A = this chain, B = another copy of it.
């Protein structure tokens, strides 16, 4: 039984992700912002925090990336991938829908559906999808666009499910903890994440990526996020593999050498189960063989 912080309120996609990443006995504690959820685990008030990191339509979640790059290190131990489709909830017995409330991002993702299915309904912004459900319950608006889990928390009626303008949109969530090992076991379908501060110098990023490419390691995501000062950047790089593997340890050492300001953000199984692509001559056995050969050369036993 562990206490796990999550970016709340109750009834959002993050709660749904947190449920999928924790056990039945764990206690989920909602926090008002991503920063506060991360602060709770840093202070030891909770054992972990569940936060969104990337959406296939909206892109990365800046507050999560910045929150992981700054202050005390946190490590992602697991991830979840949720399809982004919404439910439309109303008070029981509602016949006419004149206003439809949600977070502006959610409203943007169902705009075409609302035009087609609820023509004339006026979109109204709220601070979260769950806040829209609260407002509908209170009679302020007629309908709320929410995460599917929301109906478990509010006495509302489901008018439509799986609502989304873009098919196959998904959001990825991380479960982060303080670095007090051990890490998750490697599975062959893992993701490793780092953040590196950018030397503002021609070719700096090309050099980092060439270290990965030269070892046949496949990127899964790269984001250049501005640091607090305009014109300075941090690179968030996700790639296939696990730090326990020789090939991944080798590249991390090279990145650390090139770039002192690099932080490990975790190695954990991919939620989509995609196994790492291993290029010819870039498998773990190749790295072990090469290190063995150098050791034998040093001993004067091989040439």
Q: Which residues of A contact B (CB under 8 A)?
A: 33, 54, 56-60, 62-63, 103-104, 107-108, 123-127, 131, 166, 168-170, 202-203, 205-207, 209-210, 212-214, 216-226, 228-231, 233, 272, 274, 277, 279
Residues of B within 8 A of A166 (CB): 228
* Pairwise interchain contact B125-A103, C-beta atoms closer than 8 A: yes
**In the assembly, what is the distance between CA of A219 and CA of B233, in Å?**
11
**In the assembly, what is the distance between CA of A126 and CA of B229, in Å?**
28
Residues of B within 8 A of A274 (CB): 231
* Pairwise interchain contact B219-A213, C-beta atoms closer than 8 A: no
Residues of B within 8 A of A205 (CB): 209, 219, 222
Residues of B within 8 A of A230 (CB): 56, 168-170, 272
A222 interface neighbour in B62, B63, B216, B224, Cβ under 8 Å:
B224
**In the assembly, what is the distance between CA of A224 and CA of B103, in Å?**
25
With contacts A58-B62, A62-B59, A209-B206 taken as known, whether A229 is within 8 angstroms of B127 at the C-beta atoms is no
Chain B nearest CB: distance from A199 CB in Å?
11
Residues of B within 8 A of A60 (CB): 59
Further pairs besides A203-B210, A203-B213: 9, Cβ < 8 Å: A33-B108, A56-B226, A57-B228, A59-B59, A107-B127, A202-B217, A203-B214, A223-B223, A231-B274
**In the assembly, what is the distance between CA of A201 and CA of B170, in Å?**
22
Of the candidates A124, A126, A220, A226, the one having the most CB atoms from chain B within 10 angstroms of its own CB is A226
Chain B nearest CB: distance from A108 CB in Å?
8
**In the assembly, what is the distance between CA of A218 and CA of B231, in Å?**
12
Residues of B within 8 A of A214 (CB): 203
Q: Provide a sorted-by-A list of 29 A–B residue pairs whose CB atoms are within 8 angstroms.
A: A56-B226, A56-B228, A57-B62, A59-B60, A59-B226, A104-B125, A107-B127, A123-B127, A125-B127, A168-B229, A168-B230, A169-B230, A170-B230, A202-B213, A202-B218, A202-B279, A203-B209, A203-B213, A203-B214, A205-B209, A206-B210, A206-B212, A207-B213, A221-B224, A221-B233, A222-B224, A223-B223, A231-B272, A231-B274
Copies in the complex: 2
Residues of B within 8 A of A107 (CB): 127
Q: Which residue of B lies closest to A201 (CB)?
A: B218
A57 interface neighbour in B169, B217, B226, Cβ under 8 Å:
B226
Of the candidates A60, A63, A202, A233, the one having the most CB atoms from chain B within 10 angstroms of its own CB is A202
**In the assembly, what is the distance between CA of A221 and CA of B205, in Å?**
11
**In the assembly, what is the distance between CA of A218 and CA of B205, in Å?**
10
**In the assembly, what is the distance between CA of A229 and CA of B168, in Å?**
7
* Pairwise interchain contact B127-A59, C-beta atoms closer than 8 A: no
**In the assembly, what is the distance between CA of A217 and CA of B202, in Å?**
6
Residues of B within 8 A of A218 (CB): 202
